[in-house]
Structures are given as structure tokens and as C-alpha cells.
Structure 1
Amino acid sequence: MACQELSLYQDSNNDNEIESLRTCISEEALNALNEMRKGNLMCDAIVEVRDGSFNVHRAILSACSSYFRALFTNSLSLEKQNVFIPDMRAAIMEEIISYAYLRKCEINPSNVHELLAMADYVGMTGLVKQCKIVLARMLTPKSCFGIMRFASSFRFCDDLYAKARTYLLRNFIQVAAKNEDILKIGLEDFLDIITDDMLNTRDEELVWKLCIKWVDYDVNERQRHLPQLMQGVRLGLMTPKFFMDEVKDHPYVVKCIEARPLILETLSFLYELDMMRPTDKEVPTPLIAMPRLPHEVMFAIGGWNGGTSKSAIETYDTRADRWVNIPAEDPAGPRAYHGTAVIGFNIYCIGGYNGVEYFNTCRVFDAVKKTWKEISPMHSRRCYVSVAVLNGQIYAMGGYDGHNRLNTVERYSPKTNQWTMITPMNRQRSDADACSLNGKIYAMGGFNGQECLSTAEFYDPTTDLWTPMPNMNHRRSGISCVAYRNHVYVVGGFNGLARLSTGEKYDPETEIWTFIREMYHARSNFGLEIIDDMIFAIGGFNGIATIPHTECYLAETDEWMEATNLNVVRSALTANTVCGLPNIRDYIHQNRELLMEERRQRMFPNIDTLTIAEEFESADEEMSVEFE
């Protein structure tokens, strides 16, 4: 007997959570039973609703509905039974019966809410699950509040409510801009959102602006809640200018006596932050400056320093601006000059070099279970390999096998755990980099064994062809690239003479390369990744030494900003962002209440707090003697 499986993703974020609904009745048998129902053959019950009636088989409905099972098994009569359900429409009953017979029905945005309610009413748990899956897929910045409210109405929809709320928090910036429903909710629900540590925003200014919009919606009633709202906003994380102009001097705040203590506390904190000095006391992080928790973390894996490869793993917490050492190194040993790719919660490490061996081996790290395992090796050894992900498959391009610079390309399918050779690139490229954008893979720069390259090309999987594209403005080997805002960004690298701090972006529409602002640090063989809508450049080699420096690029202002240095100095590392980890707290800075103290220690690294205390005591004694 054939076994049919229906697999559905539980949400729109590709969590890799699959809900399998299994039936062990062949499709032919299901269709035959449904045809018998439609022809009123051997039907032994009639289900009536207010605008229609349906001939059914009691056994079929009883098999998947607790409601009908209780109804029909109370009577052993062989006579045809009539059942009337007054609160259900015929169109909904048609879908319920279709699901009972075929394990499938039409679920769409116009009927899913009613269908879920009625499926619960008749105790059809399988259909309830499918409806919740459809609702989860319907989550958008505009719809999430409506789905949250709907889910809160049913005791069995706690999981859907949690999913909708997580979506809201994760996409807060878009929700605040597009969703008018957020202005209609009450104080308690509004505070529940803005006070949540998981509210995903790097700018508390946006939270404050939303608070003002919420008050403006019903100013006479809501203005009195301003002190409570201000307690929910992390005022100490705002820029001093915004706080002074938009908060302290806001008309609502000026008129609110209860808000003054919080204004004074924030002013005092911002002043102390600006005028921080050596002190003999720990500097705690106040609640008004406690950073929220991120929804994504960046992993920096492996690398090279001091003539040896490294197995270190660090994650970057964007909200705290801290790198965190993660004790989950690969037991198979370190690697550098490798490639990495993320699919779901798995980070794939491809090829590389350990100082002795050029690898064709590949390893995968499960960021949820924190375990490593081996996957199928590539056909070729590849050090200095370029790696990109497209349509759920991993591409490994070029590299160096210990003898030759390669132009060959192979593709890995996680489903089959197999590598397949595809059309090679037009150029040999090791020490290049690649990324995917709009269904194509772009490979740039590199070294062909004789010279550093400025050439670039793209791959179209629909034609299995590589096509040359305009050259970059600079030759770049040891470069890094990312796809960002419909452009390909390349930065840094080595031009044959010096390490570069320059960067440029490529527009596939105009086929033009344009320079962007230079980095603070020239570097090659470094990590480059997008997190928090910024491009981060991490570590690398500046031509003289391996560097720990991290800096981030803001496209809006075309500028780079310094960020916290790596804990482990290295080049030839990789950087990847993983989103939505259920155990994200394992990868973020733990002692957030000590962030201000850590800042003080970084600003005054040579100051010993005990020495300071002793100096104060000594000064007091000298003053006492002088006074006597």
C-alpha cells in the first residue's frame, strides 16, 4: 500500500521545521471514497448546515474528527443519521469534508480564519495544524497584529501566537512603519512590546517615535501614560542630540512632571558616558542603557595567525558590540583559507588548509546542537576557495589544490549529500570571493598563479553558463564580497603591490562599478558579512601583521565605523550570519550589566582599580598630615 506524505514548512523564515502529516491510505482509495460520497453510494449520514447538506460516511468522518466520532458512536443504528450544525457555512463544511476524505482542501487567506475555528469545533486536529501553517506563512509587517489577535482567541493557538509575536519583534522596524494596528492596542499590550528585550532595533529613536505616534492616536487619553512609556524606552542608548532635541524638549515631556526624574537620570548617564574617567569603582550598566538582544549572530570561524591555522569560533553580538568566544571548536582540527556557507542553522565549512594538508573535506556545524559532523568530500582539494549559496545548494568555486589554481566548480546538495561538477569558470581563480544575488552567482578577483585579477563573471544556473562581466576598478586577490541592497560589494584585497582599503559596488542593472568610502584598515584575507543591515569587515592581514580590527559600513551615509576587535587575532577566517536561532542566548554577551565596566576597562587598560584606591587613601593621609 502506498504511503502519502505531506510536508509543510511551519513558517516563512525557512526554519527547517517540517510538519509531516501522514496517511497510510493510497491516493486511489481516497479518491474512490470521495467519489462514492459524491454519488451517495453507501453513505449512512447527512450533515446539514444552514445553507446546505452533505451525504457522508460515518466511519470516514469519525476517523479524523473527535466531534463526529462522539456523535456517531453514540448510536449503533443502521439507519441513516441526520446531523445539523447551525453555526457553519456550507463552503466551510465542504472543505472540512474534503479534508476528511482526501487529506487536502483549499485553504486561502479568505477562509483560513473561519476554517481553523470550525476545524477546532469538530475536533479535526490535522486540519487545525494545516490552517496554522498557512497563517504563519501569511505573516507580514501589516498582518502580524491581526494574526496575533486571532491566535490569542484560541487556547490551541499558543504556538501560532508565539510565532506571530516573534515575527513582530524581529521585524519591528517594518511593523512600526507599516502597521496601523499597533496604534490601536491598549497600554498593557503596547508596553509588552516596547519593553521586550527581543525588540529588534539598533535605534531606540524608532521606539520613541512609535511611542509618540501611539500617544498622538488618542492624545487626551494616552498622554498621562508617558512616564510608563519612557520607562520602556532605552533612553541611554540614544544619541545625546536626539535625546536633547526629541525627548527632553518634546512638548509632552516638558509638561509631564513625572517624567523629570527619568530625564535627569538619562542626562546624568549621558554626561558620565561622555566624561568617563578612571575610577576605583565598578561602573554598572543602568536599565536605561541595557542593550536589547539580537535576533541574529555572526560567526567567525577558523583562520590563520603566527604560521598556524586556528580552530577558534567567535560570535558577534551587534547589540552589545562584543565578540564572544564559543567553546565549540571542530574536533577534526583547525582550518584556514576555507569557505563557509549557512543553510538554516547549519554552517558548512568547505575545503581549506591547516598548514600541512590542502582539504577536499567538508564539515558542518549545527548551531542548535553545537555538534560537528563530516559530509561528503569535494571532488577536488580546494584552499583559497570561493563559496556561495543559491537555491539551497552550496557552490565551491576555484581555489588551489596544492599544485594548480583552479577554475572548476562543484555544487553540493544537502538533500543528497553529494557534490556535482558543473560548468567551470572562464578564469582560474584562487583567493577570489563569490556571492549570490537575484538568482545568479558572482565571482570576483583572485589570483591565477601569475597575477592578481580585476576580472569578474557570473553564473546562471538556468543555463549552466558563466558569463564575463565588466572588470573591477582594482585588481584584488584575497578579497571579500557580499550581496547587499541589489548590489555586489567588494572590499580590500591585494593588488600585487599592497593591501587595499578601497571598496566598490557593482550594479547588475547598469553593469557599472562604483567606488565606496575606503575602510580605516587596509586588509586582505578577511571576513565580510552583513548583520543588522550593515556590512562588517573582520580581521585579515594588512601587509605587515595580522589584525583584529572590525569595522562596519553604513550604506546610507557611505561611511565606515569602528567596532570591537576580535578576541582571537587572525586572517583567512570566514564570517557568516545565522538568523532566528532558538538558542541565541548561548551566542551573545552574557554579562550585559557589566558592559559599561568593560568599556571603562578598555578606555583605561593600564589602570589598576586597587592602585587607584590606594592612591586616594595616600592622598587623604597626606592631606591629613598637612592639615595637622
Structure 2
Amino acid sequence: MPHGSSLVFNELRLKEELCDAVIRVQNEDFHIHRIILSGCSEYFRCLFTRWSQPRDQVYKIDQASPDIMRLIIKFAYIGSEEVNQQNMEELYIACDFFKVTGLMEACCSFMGDHLSKDNCIDIWQLTETFVSPKLNSEAFHFIVQHFTEICGSFKFLKLSVQQLLKLIKADELLVRDEAIVFEAILCWIDHSPEERTTYISQILPKVRLALMTPEYFTTNVRNNKMVMCNTECQDTVETAQSLLDDGIVSSLGIYHPLACPRLPASILLAIGGWNKNSVAVVANSIEAYDVSTDCWVNVTNTEEETHSNEAVVFLNRSVYCFGDHDGIEPLTRVRRFDLATHTWHKVAQMKTWRWFASITALNGRIYAVGGYDQQNSLRTAECYNPETNHWIMFTSMIERRSQASSTTFQGRVYICGGFDGHGSLSSAEYYSPETKEWTMIANMSVGRYGLGVIAFEEQIYAVGGKNEGTSLNITEAYNPRINSWQTVTPMRRPRCNFGIGVVDGRLFVIGGLNSFTTMSDVESYELNTGEWSEAMSMGISRSGLSCCVISGLTNMADYAAPRHNSLDPPSVLTDLPLYDID
């Protein structure tokens, strides 16, 4: 809000009182006070003090339209930031020319918040010409994350070869398979074949050809007429063919450029837990699972003190950790790990002491439900708003539950199983923020606590857990449309108090406790086959861990296996991933 003197000066401007100069834009005059414009613009400060004479009264400006100049002058007087999708690019260019730093920052912030498939290429190109590194990086990240939808657009076809190369060689490029990249290249060349055909030898080596299926590679790449007619392309094709024939081989994350996996869209984090059934806490250990390389990477922040984090949730590019335990008693704090800066921050404590609580996120809020207060299993629930850093209590559950598990699905919070202080529960219920009520749903076939519950492919899966001291491998899927559970293929091994997450269309279970010891092994369930299969084990065996899936980060590479290639080997041994990649 502008302060009093700003409003006074602006009123004088509007009344054309005490003004000492006129800015003329396309025959439209703006009466201004030179000292006000000099305060917000380096350009006008130089114009009034160095590039003109004191007797000059009228300054003709050709570098902006009257509407844009009106916005700049209004910002200079009262700090008004009237940026919208219609004027953002023109205003950004004008602010860059006139060096109106504050309004230019507002333009960058607005454009970053309103990136879309229609404007991302325009903004990327704009910020390369009128340099804004942060916004340029955000626009580039948006393009590579939405490449499949963007690569057929007219704006994509108008890219320069340098811009195209920058996109397709990026590890961050998010594509289901490399065939999409190759076909996008063919479309780009076909848009102006006489000019662009010669670029094929530069472009083809940037495609990860050895990641294609052999059938597609042979039919569509090797036999492509343009590729066949280019000697350099033929050399690239032969190299890719040998990699396909031999299988993609990687040694400690060192890949051939034609076979280097791109960064995954999502990465699974495993945080906290207990090691080997003892009081040894591994809570400050964070491992990241890169599904594209089937590899776990240690991303532990060693500066954070050790505690056991019993629940984590990903929200707004941060991981929130709840229910800390130091091996003796519960702690009351909640922490937020900023994935961009790799730093921990304290946030408001929950209103209730909750050990073994169920935590989930819905519509920008975090829900903490049930738990154990060292005396009783709880029915109470509370909700956290990150914008206000404040917790509020909301409607209590129908059942008391600790060591239950929760998830969100179709605007509801579901919670299943748990321990009520007397025995394991087979019951489940959901909370609707609209009605502010809990509703019971059909019971699971078996009562259990320490289970994993997650929404997966239009159903809610309840996996594993413990009943009367015995770890289970049972898996059930709940269909909300018919309010019914169906037993599906059980896990290969029984486990409880494990991590769970959905990555790349597969449901993963991580670590946990069988009937005898903690586990490091991982298995995944694929809906198409209805079968569980082995995945790479963690580096640490642990139970009581929690997992979350992170996505949408501009620094996703910080949490993925390194993408070294054989032409650019790692400089030091410590650059290599903690665990080998098969």
C-alpha cells in the first residue's frame, strides 16, 4: 500500500501541479516530477541529469506505448504493479529498457507464475534477449517438463537450431520414450526442409538412440532416408546399434551419450526410521530412488541433528517431517526441508502430541490424524496451513487410531487400519473437507496396523502391516465407486512399518520390518501385470521410515543419480553415486 507522501505526489501529478517535465509518447503527454521518476529508473535519472539540459521540459519517448508508459509512471509514484497476461511481455521489455527494476521483477514474478504451454517458448526466448536468468531457467524447465505437448506447436517449429539442440540434449527433458524426441526433430526439419535437412548430423547425436526399442530404432531411425543419406548420421546409428546389441552398460553412473537416461519426472525419498531393531536412529539419513536408473542415492543433510521422523509429506517443493522421536520419547516439533536450498526450517508445532500419526496433504493443506500420546490412541485431527504457519483442530475421527495409514483421493482424506489401544483395526473411514465429517467405509479383510495406504490408479491400496505380532504380505484394493475391497497379488515378503509411494506408474514398498529384522529391500507392483517385482535395495535397512514422492523441481538432478557420460567423466570419485547401477 502506498504511503501518504506517495499519494500526495500522485495527486499533484494527476492535477498537473508542481510538475517540472513532460514525457511525450506518441503525442500523449504525461506531466511528471523528475525527482519521482529518477527514484525508480536509472534511465530517467540519466536522462534528466546527464543526457539533457536543465532547461529542457519535454522529453519525447519512442520506446514504449502510452499504455505501458502510464503503468511505469504509476508504479514510480505509488508502486502499482498492474501486470496481466496481455501486457506482461511488452511491459517487461519496456522495464528492461528504462531500467525500472522493481516493476521488472514484478513482471518476472507474474510470468513465472503464469507459465503455460502457449507462452513458455515466447518467455524463454524473451528472457534470452532481455536477460533474466531466473525466469529464463523457469521457462526452460517448463518446456522440457511439457515437451510432449509442446513439440507439435507452431512456436516449437519456429525454434532456431541452437534452441532445439539445447532442449533435446537436456537431461531434464521429460519424455515417455526417445521416439518422441526423434519424431519432434523430423517435424521441426519438415517445417523448412531445404534449410534444415543439413542439421540432422548435429541433432541426431543428442537423441538417446540406445534407449529406444530395437524395433523402433531399426524401422524408424536406421531406415530413415534422411539419416541413410548422411555419412555422419550413419556413424551415430552404428554406435547406437552396437549399444543396443550389447545392452546398455553403465559403470558407476558413467554412460555413453546415446544411452544416458534422462532425469525422471518424480523421485522417491526415504527418510528416517530405525536400524536393525535397536535404538540406533537413522532419521537424518535420506535416500533418493531414481526410477530411471533403478538406483538409490544418499542425499543426507549432515548438518541436521539426528531424530526419527515418523511421517513425511511433500508440499510446495518442500518436505515436511512430523512426529520426531529421539529414541526415548516423542518430540513436538515439525520441520520443513527446502528441496531447492537443501536447508531445514522449523515450522509451527502441532497442537497435540502425536506419535505414530497419519499424515497426508490435500489442496495445499497438511492433515495430521490420530496417533498415540503415550497414554491413548487418538481420534483427534488437525490441519496445517503453510501460508499462515498455523494449525487448527478439525472434526475427530470415528475410531481411535495409531499406526494407521492415510492417503488422499478425489478430494477426501482416507485412513485405514491402525491400533485402537485394544487391538488391530480392519475399519477405514474418510474425511470430506466440504462436509467436515468422517464417514465409515467397508472394512478390510484383515485388521492391521503399521500398514501402507496409497491412492493408485483410481483405487486405494492397503498393503502389508502387522496383526497380532505377525507381519503380513496381504494387499487389498478399495474401489470407492462400489465401496468394496478386493484382494490382489500379495507382496513377495511380509512387512510392516515400511515406506510406500507411487513412481512412474508403479507402486513401491520400501524397507520395513518383517517378523524378525529390519529390511532394506524394495519391491514394486505393476497394475498391468498384477505382479510384484524386485527393485534395487536401499543402502540402509530400516523400519519406521516414511517416504514421499517429489516432482516439479528445477533442481531434480540434486536428488537423482549422476548423469555422467563417457565423453565427460566425473572429475573426482566423490561425484559418483553411493550405490552402483546395474
Q: TM-score range by the shorter chain?
A: 0.7 to 0.9
Please give the alpha-carbon distance, in whole angstroms, between the structure 2 residues aligned to 1:517 and 1:220. Answer: 56
Moved more, 560-569 or 410-419: 410-419
- Residue identity over aligned pairs, in percent, reads 33
CA, structure 1 residues 417+108, in 2 after alignment: closer, same or farther (shift >3 Å)? closer
Please give the alpha-carbon distance, in whole angstroms, between the structure 2 residues aligned to 1:429 and 1:58. Answer: 68
Do residues 264 (structure 1) and 245 (structure 2) align?
Answer: no
Unaligned runs of 5+ residues in structure 2 are 570-575
- 1 or 2 for the larger relative contact order (CA 8 Å, sep ≥6)? 2
Number of residue-to-residue matches in the alignment: 568
1:561-600 alignment runs, 5 A limit: 561-579=533-551, 584-590=556-562, 592=564
Aligned to 1:315: 288
Do residues 191 (structure 1) and 165 (structure 2) align?
Answer: yes
Unaligned runs of 5+ residues in structure 1 are 5-24, 604-628
Asked if the contact 1:423–1:466 (Cα under 8 Å) also holds between the matched residues in 2, the reply is: yes
Quick one: which amino acid aligns to residue 134 of structure 1?
A: F
CA, structure 1 residues 564+250, in 2 after alignment: closer, same or farther (shift >3 Å)? farther
Quick one: which amino acid aligns to residue 376 of structure 2?
A: N
Asked if the contact 1:51–1:89 (Cα under 8 Å) also holds between the matched residues in 2, the reply is: no
Please give the alpha-carbon distance, in whole angstroms, between the structure 1 residues aligned to 2:154 and 2:524. Answer: 33
Aligned to 1:536: 508
1:300 Cα deviation (Å)? 0.6
Question: Quick one: which of 220, 239, 262 aligns to 1:292?
Answer: 262
1:387 Cα deviation (Å)? 0.6
1:574 Cα deviation (Å)? 0.7
Aligned to 2:28: 52
Aligned to 1:237: 211
Asked if the contact 1:492–1:503 (Cα under 8 Å) also holds between the matched residues in 2, the reply is: no
Asked if the contact 2:267–2:550 (Cα under 8 Å) also holds between the matched residues in 1, the reply is: yes
Do residues 174 (structure 1) and 149 (structure 2) align?
Answer: yes
CA, structure 1 residues 210+482, in 2 after alignment: closer, same or farther (shift >3 Å)? farther
Asked if the contact 2:324–2:334 (Cα under 8 Å) also holds between the matched residues in 1, the reply is: no
Asked if the contact 2:471–2:495 (Cα under 8 Å) also holds between the matched residues in 1, the reply is: no
Moved more, 515-524 or 38-47: 515-524
Could you say which structure has the larger radius of gyration? 1
Question: Quick one: which of 179, 183, 207 aligns to 1:205?
Answer: 179
CA, structure 1 residues 136+41, in 2 after alignment: closer, same or farther (shift >3 Å)? same
Do residues 148 (structure 1) and 124 (structure 2) align?
Answer: yes
1:339-354 alignment runs, 5 A limit: 339-351=311-323, 353=325
Asked if the contact 1:501–1:523 (Cα under 8 Å) also holds between the matched residues in 2, the reply is: no
1:216-615 alignment runs, 5 A limit: 216-273=190-247, 285-294=255-264, 296-308=266-278, 309-311=281-283, 312-328=285-301, 332-335=305-308, 338-351=310-323, 353=325, 356-372=328-344, 375-414=347-386, 418-437=390-409, 439-461=411-433, 464-472=436-444, 475-483=447-455, 488-494=460-466, 499-507=472-480, 519-532=491-504, 534-543=506-515, 545-553=517-525, 561-579=533-551, 584-590=556-562, 592=564
Please give the alpha-carbon distance, in whole angstroms, between the structure 2 residues aligned to 1:386 and 1:247. Answer: 50
SS in 1 for 2:99: coil
SS in 2 for 1:384: coil
SS in 1 for 2:513: coil
Please give the alpha-carbon distance, in whole angstroms, between the structure 2 residues aligned to 1:560 and 1:252. Answer: 43
1:543 Cα deviation (Å)? 4.4
- Residue-by-residue CA offset, 1:354-394 (whole Å, 9 max, x unaligned): 65434444344444554546555444433321011245443
Quick one: which amino acid aligns to residue 316 of structure 1?
A: Y
Aligned to 1:20: none
Asked if the contact 1:382–1:398 (Cα under 8 Å) also holds between the matched residues in 2, the reply is: yes
Aligned to 1:111: 87
1:582 Cα deviation (Å)? 6.1
SS in 2 for 1:173: helix
CA, structure 1 residues 405+329, in 2 after alignment: closer, same or farther (shift >3 Å)? farther
TM-score, length-scaled by structure 1: 0.78
1:429 Cα deviation (Å)? 1.6
TM-score, length-scaled by structure 2: 0.84
1:125 Cα deviation (Å)? 1.6
Aligned to 1:614: none
Moved more, 374-383 or 202-211: 374-383
- Residue-by-residue CA offset, 1:78-103 (whole Å, 9 max, x unaligned): x8922222343222222222212221
Please give the alpha-carbon distance, in whole angstroms, between the structure 1 residues aligned to 2:581 and 2:291. Answer: 18
Please give the alpha-carbon distance, in whole angstroms, between the structure 2 residues aligned to 1:87 and 1:227. Answer: 42
Please give the alpha-carbon distance, in whole angstroms, between the structure 1 residues aligned to 2:180 and 2:514. Answer: 38
Aligned to 2:572: none
Quick one: which amino acid aligns to residue 353 of structure 2?
A: R
Question: Quick one: which of 78, 96, 104 aligns to 1:120?
Answer: 96
1:433 Cα deviation (Å)? 1.6
Please give the alpha-carbon distance, in whole angstroms, between the structure 2 residues aligned to 1:465 and 1:326. Answer: 40
Please give the alpha-carbon distance, in whole angstroms, between the structure 2 residues aligned to 1:460 and 1:41. Answer: 59
Please give the alpha-carbon distance, in whole angstroms, between the structure 2 residues aligned to 1:284 and 1:131. Answer: 41
Quick one: which amino acid aligns to residue 500 of structure 1?
A: N
Please give the alpha-carbon distance, in whole angstroms, between the structure 1 residues aligned to 2:253 and 2:355. Answer: 46
SS in 1 for 2:72: helix
1:302 Cα deviation (Å)? 1.5
1:171 Cα deviation (Å)? 2.9
CA, structure 1 residues 55+528, in 2 after alignment: closer, same or farther (shift >3 Å)? same
Please give the alpha-carbon distance, in whole angstroms, between the structure 1 residues aligned to 2:240 and 2:348. Answer: 56
SS in 1 for 2:296: strand
Please give the alpha-carbon distance, in whole angstroms, between the structure 1 residues aligned to 2:254 and 2:22. Answer: 71
